[in-house]
Every structure is written in structure tokens, then in C-alpha cells.
Amino acid sequence: MHDYGVAGILLAAGKSTRMGKNKLALPFKELTIGSHSFQSAARSRLQHLFVVTKKADSLNWLIPCQPRVNSVPWSQKTCPDAVKGQSYSIKCGIKAAMDSRSEAVIIMLADQPCVTIALINSLILTFEWEKQLGNDILYVATKHNGVIQPPILFTTRAYPELLKLEGDKGARYLLKHKMFDRGVIMNWDDPMCFFDVDTEVQYRILISR
């Protein structure tokens, strides 16, 4: 029995090196970049949201959405080794998901502020449908123009491999492995859902749209 069905792992422990300042705190519309990412997850069909941050992150970039009846409960998970690369943040989130006995996770990036509730819910609904059919899958992903992009849903069968990631490798790296041929990939038409903000130029493109 699982305590949580599908949990979210929001990776928010990056160093913002290329931006030169905390990109998650940059204003975007009425909130911040990080808050938009958080808000989509918090209003989706997720059962819980783990926000993975680096040590001593005060969450001053986070402006939580207004409480609603269906808001997703969330908790902060500090990753002491976040500076070593993204894989350490992923492993921190996976361990939290394992402790909560989640049957799947959706790994999301906090610097993708245009990810929609619809995209997150599509990943969850596809996973639930495959489970009803009895299909033993390892992941559900979306792609645009032939390229798979986060967020990506991983089932419990993928957890051991996620825990083996090293350095700055992201979860998408695993999909190159032969064992990850058991998954579902959906086409997604909106390119802005996958737009991440790493540089000042990308930030200007974001706010211009």
C-alpha cells in the first residue's frame, strides 16, 4: 500500500551560475519564476510535492499560491550535496519519495515557469491508465519536436536507477539506457512548457512572451 500515489519532486537547488543571481527569485508576471513552477505543481493531481533546495535556502523566492481545497501538501527537502550536481538533488527527492512510499514521482525543474497543470496531470493520468491496463512501465515522458524534456514521471521500478545517478546528470539521461524501453512518450505541442531560464537572454525572452 502506498501512502502517496504520485508525488512531485521540484528541483530548486541550482546555483544559478549562468544567471549570476538567484533566477528563481526573478519576477515573472505577478509572482517569481520559482513560484510559477511551484504553483502549477501545487494545483495539479499530485498527492505531495517535495521541494528540493540547497542548504540554508530561506525560500524567499517562493510566493505560495493562495490556499485552496485541492492544494497539494508540500515539504522542503534540503540537499547538503546539491553543489555537486543535479543528480544529488534528484537522489534526495527520490529518498523522500521512498520514505513516503510514493508509487511514482514527477521530476520537475523550478526554472521551468511555464509548465502547465495540464501537462502534469497528463503524465499522472497516463500513468494511472497504464497501471489499470497492467502495463509494467518505468516512466511517462513528453516530447516536443522529437526531444524528450522534463518534467518526467518515473515509477518505483526506476527508483534504484535514479539513485545511481552521479554528478550533474539529470533524470532524462536514464532514458538512453536499454532497460528504459518500457515507457510511454507523449507528444506535446506547446514549446513554452519546456522553456527553462538559465541566462539573462532567456529571461528577457520569457518576460517578452
Domain ranges of the chain: 6-208
CATH homologous superfamily for the domain 6-208: Spore Coat Polysaccharide Biosynthesis Protein SpsA; Chain A (3.90.550.10)
Q: What is the pLDDT of residues 93-113, one digit of tens each?
A: 999 999 999 999 999 999 999
* pTM score of the predicted model: 0.93
Q: Which residue in 37, 49, 43 sits closest to 96, CA to CA?
A: 49
Tell me the chain's radius of gyration from C-alpha atoms: 16
- pLDDT at position 23, please? 92
Task: Give residue 1's pLDDT band: very low, low, confident or very high (50, 70, 90).
Answer: very low
Q: Residue 66: enclosing H or E segment and its boundaries?
A: none
Q: Which residues have a Cβ under 8 Å from the Cβ of 74 and sit 6 or more positions away?
A: 38, 41, 42, 48, 49, 50, 51
Set of cell numbers at residue 161: 536507477
Q: What is the pLDDT of residues 112-152, one digit of tens each?
A: 999 999 999 999 999 999 999 999 999 999 999 888 999 99
- pLDDT at position 58, please? 86
Give the β-pairing of 6-11 and 104-109.
Answer: parallel
Cα separations (Å) of 195 from 41, 189, 206? 16, 13, 8
Task: Give residue 3's pLDDT band: very low, low, confident or very high (50, 70, 90).
Answer: low
